[in-house]
Amino acid sequence: MGIMICEAHGRVGLVETCSHVAQQIDDRKAPSGHHLAILGNLFICHECFNSLGFEQFISLAGLPLETALKVDDGRWEAFEAAYEAIEGRRAYCLKCVVELKHQCSSV
């Protein structure tokens, strides 16, 4: 998991987003999409998830790290290619994103 320094939360985990989810967060709207925990935190919109082929390796998210790192059937290469193809990746404080989702859901 990546670490960042947040003005509100200090040293904290981060979540990377596609530009579409980043825009939702910047607009103070509850972000929607797919949250993937594959060697870090990734939050991408439905369009990016589908168009970049993330469904091919979603099964990596459920594996213990020791097992996941031993996978050699091409899923890691496909994940890396899809990850690199995400346009406008941005990093946000994981706690801030969770708080935004809670604030928006309680309104």
Domains in the chain: boundaries: 3-105
CA–CA distance, 107 with 91 (Å, rounded to integer): 25
Tens digits of per-residue pLDDT, 15-54?
A: 999 999 999 999 999 999 999 888 789 999 999 999 999 8
Buried/exposed 62-72: b ≥16 CB within 10 Å, e otherwise: eeeeeebeeee
- Cβ-contact 20, 48 below 8 angstroms: yes
45-102 residue pLDDT tens:
999 999 999 888 887 777 777 887 788 888 888 888 999 999 999 999 999 999 999 9
Contacts of 84 (CB under 8 A, 6+ apart): none
3-state DSSP assignment of residue 69: coil
pTM above 0.85, yes or no: yes
